[in-house]
Structure 1
Amino acid sequence: MKTMNRLWTVEEVAEYLGVPVGTLYQWRCKRIGPPGRRIGKHLRYLPEDVHAWVREQT
């Protein structure tokens, strides 16, 4: 049975990428950062989406 990964918070993604939280929100507005999802009023990220986005960067 595959274990489900939990979603990452904005703070966790910012720490992983080494950027300020504000940068993630700016990227989201410009649609240039890792794809996030709204879960209710919260922004969350799938870890595999963040990893894929990092691999796509040149």
Structure 2
Amino acid sequence: MSEQVSESWINIDEAAEYLGVKPVTLRTWIKKKNGIPAHKIGKQWKFKYSELDEWVKSGKSAIE
């Protein structure tokens, strides 16, 4: 069985930069529960690039 390297978590600032928005915009999306794949780990929100990509590809990011 081959081992997969697990994808690392990114913080809200890195996710915002990746998506081309401000961190406050991400926090608003999380509060609105619009389906953004955010995970609360401790007191911080964490994201994975692959989940953000899937969310954007699904079209859910365009729904307000």
**TM-score bracket, shorter-length normalisation:** 0.7 to 0.9
Q: Which structure 2 residue ranges, 5 or more long, are not aligned?
A: none
Q: Pick one of 6, 19, 43 that aligns with 1:17.
A: 19
**Aligned-pair identity (%):** 31
Q: Give the structure-2-normalised TM-score.
A: 0.80
Deviation at 1:31, TM superposition (A): 1.1
Q: How much has 1:49 moved relative to structure 2?
A: 1.3
Q: TM-score, normalised by structure 1?
A: 0.87
Q: Which structure features the higher share of strand residues? A: 1
- 1:49 aligned residue (30, 48, 51): 51
Aligned-residue offset at 1:33: 5.0
Pair member with larger Rg: 2
